[in-house]
Structure 1
Amino acid sequence: MPENVISVCDEKVYEQLYRDHAEKICYYLYYKYGDMEKAQDIVQDSFAKLWTNCSKIIFGAAKSFLYKIANNASINDYKHQKTVLKYKSTEQKNYTNESPEFQMEEKEFMHRLNSAIAGLKDGQREVFLLNRIEKKTYKEIAEMLNISVKAVEKRMHLALVILRKKIGNV
């Protein structure tokens, strides 16, 4: 069956698109902007827009439509998201066996690390978090961001250089 005959308006096709892409788009947005709740909201809105425009979207373009809608919506909220990522605190333990000095050093390190990551350029932060946290390969990241693998490699290299300068070799 040719791709242009598959209708996005078919509920089974739409549900399959949701199963295939919703979680990936959500994590893409989370690692790009740092707010899981907002990412989930944007994913829901993106799929609602896909359903509203299903007669205009061919099946083969549905994935890129979803990513584009989600990315554009999150850009509108970018400044707030950057602030959230920069100042997001880590969970505090109720008790610990570590010395107060160690706890203070750990807290300072986490603050420096979060600040350093938040200070990266958008593309560098995206690639760094997708690779190091989400464990995506450079090829997968390149496909998600619609860039070349070389561009992913360059962004990762620059991110690592900057992080090493800001927080040292750990």
Structure 2
Amino acid sequence: MGDTSNSNICKENVFSDFFKSNAKALRNYLLYKFGNQEQAEDIAQEAFIKLWQNCADVPFEKAKSYLYTIANNTSLNVIAHQKVVLSFEKSNSFSDRTNENPEFLLEETQFKEKLLKSIQNLNETQRVAFLMHRIDGKKYAVIAEELNISVKAVEKRIHLALLELRKEFRDFK
């Protein structure tokens, strides 16, 4: 049942373009969902390999959905009994901030730790939608397509995530 149109995913140049336009987003999705960068990269690569191996059976229009489904299922199999831990690389070193008040630096560190912990404590569906929107800057429609849910579901997940985060930071000084 191969696709005979110009957008046949089995064509090497079409697959290459598809890979270039979707690899980073898929890796980030897996990173946000499961919290392990190496695992995210490995599973994203494995999903693309499976797509290539089954390209004759996957119409181009369904390739992105197929890719995310394979990646998600593979991830769930790999980490079935592990607790999800979300980790971020520190982008700014505190050692090069010599002109800032030590009290401010301490508060900033405490805030970042509390924020990361709060995001980690969100349920998986809220965390994934929230990070895809806030970190990747994706629009609700794009998130809905990638997660195979409605735009309203994305709105609700992000809204609930924000409510949870607001509760956590209500009394934070």
Q: Which moved more, 1:151-160 or 1:23-32?
A: 23-32
User: How many angstroms apart in 1 are the aligned matches of 2:161 and 2:58?
Assistant: 36
Contact 1:125/1:159 (8 A) holds in 2 = yes
The reply to whether residue 111 of structure 1 matches residue 113 of structure 2 is yes
Q: How many residues align?
A: 166
Matches within 5 A, 1:43-54: 43-54=44-55
Contact 1:139 1:149 in 2 (8 A): yes
Q: Residue 89 of structure 1: CA displacement?
A: 6.5
The residue aligned with 1:72 is 73
For the Cα contact (< 8 Å) 1:128–1:156, is it kept in 2?
A: yes
Bigger shift: residues 26-35 or 37-46: 26-35
Structure 2 length normalisation: TM-score? 0.83
Q: Give deviations 1:51-109, integer Å, cap 9, x for gaps.
A: 222233333332221111111122233665722x1x65635322322222111111111
SS in 2 for 1:13: helix
The DSSP-based 3-state class of the residue aligned with 2:57 is coil
Q: Is the contact between residue 124 and residue 159 of structure 1 (CA under 8 Å) also seen in structure 2?
A: yes
Higher normalized helix content (fraction of residues): 1
Deviates more, 1:59-68 or 1:90-99: 90-99
| Aligned-partner Cα distance in 2 for 1:142–1:8 | 23
Deviation at 1:169, TM superposition (A): 7.9
Q: Quick check: 14-23 or 158-167, which moved more?
A: 14-23
The runs of 5 or more residues in structure 1 that have no matched partner are none
What SS does the aligned partner of 1:94 have? helix
Structure 2 gap segments, 5+ residues each: none
The alpha-carbon deviation at position 10 of structure 1 amounts to 2.4
| 1:131–1:138 CA contact under 8 A, matched in 2 | yes
For normalisation by structure 1, the TM-score amounts to: 0.84
